[in-house]
Chain A
Amino acid sequence: MKTDKTDIELIQEFQDGNEESFNALVERHLSNTYGFFVKICQNEMDAEDLAQDVFLKMHRALKKFRFESAFTTYLFRANRNMANSYIRNKWWRGLLNLEDTPEKGEWDTSHETDWRKQELWNAVAKLPKLQRNVVMMRIAQELPFKEISAILNTTESSAKTSYHYAVKTLKIWLENE
């Protein structure tokens, strides 16, 4: 299913009723989308579910896509929204003790790294929305600030400042725990 066509061409073909073009688009962006969600979720099954949800939304939304922005920007926005709702949901579940979190005394050292990742994402979830989005895209997706600012509809300097404050806040929160 590998193709040399651009995203725009594939979307146009999909809009004309070619389902194979949509499949080619999924195949092209699956690795990046899935990788992003794995970093956010720390769980491959959840990541696959989130990636599936994103592409399901794309299947409906692309029929009305107006080519005002690049497809990757559109996809990153969808990923960001999905990740935000996942983090918020996870944070609430943690708050309501719905997650199976071990007691501090029962920590298994073999899972220490995973546990720290969880701690880190809990802290990210508490950041203000803009800072959280910048951190997610910068750390989990390793996007340049220029692209982040385009996705978030903000200036590059604002994205950089938000990132700077977010990292500073995370440093205080995580090192004081």
Chain B
Amino acid sequence: MNDFETKLKQAMQTENSVPDADAFISDLHSERKNRQSARRQFYNGIVAGMLILSFGLFTVSQLGTNPAELIVYDSFEIMSEEDRIEEEFLREMAVYYLEESDDIWDTYALLNDSELFNEKWENQ
């Protein structure tokens, strides 16, 4: 056993020169500063990310509704408003024709010929 232990110790023997202490200490402090600044950058990145995320969440909550839904809702509103104007226009035109003409069928024929009237019925 003792022989083997001696062999082990001999195998471990190394001839090494100790590094220059001043250079080692200087490298140590520059590495420490590098790591400190890397750590600071990492934490700043996390804080910035959290701020952006919380700002985004706050903005969305202020809108109250999903923006996508708002767009769809608005387009329906515009379409129904157009329909209302068209219907009103047709109604006024019909009344005008009825007043100006003696024959109801002439009024119907005129309305039937109008492009707007046809479009309206085709869509429905």
Contacts and interface: CB of A to CB of B under 8 A. Distances in A.
Given A26-B21, A26-B25, A120 B32 contact: no
A34 interface: yes
A147 interface: no
A143 interface: no
B25 A34 contact: no
Main secondary structure of the interface of A (DSSP, over half): helix
A30 B18 contact: yes
B27 to A, nearest CB: 7
A140 B14 CA distance: 10
A15 B51 CA distance: 35
Given A1-B22, A120-B12, A167-B8, 20 more contacts: A1-B21, A26-B21, A30-B24, A34-B19, A39-B14, A47-B16, A51-B24, A52-B27, A56-B28, A113-B11, A120-B8, A120-B11, A139-B9, A140-B12, A168-B1, A170-B4, A170-B8, A171-B1, A171-B4, A175-B4
Interface of A: 1, 23, 26-27, 30-31, 34-35, 38-39, 42, 44, 47-48, 51-52, 55-56, 59, 113, 116-117, 120, 139-140, 167-168, 170-171, 175
The 6 A-B pairs with the shortest beta carbon distances in the complex, nearest first, are A38-B16, A27-B21, A31-B18, A171-B4, A23-B25, A39-B12
30 contacts: A23-B25, A26-B24, A26-B25, A30-B21, A34-B16, A34-B19, A35-B14, A39-B14, A44-B16, A47-B16, A48-B24, A51-B24, A52-B28, A52-B31, A55-B28, A56-B32, A59-B28, A59-B32, A116-B11, A117-B11, A117-B12, A120-B8, A120-B11, A120-B12, A139-B9, A140-B12, A170-B4, A170-B8, A171-B1, A171-B4
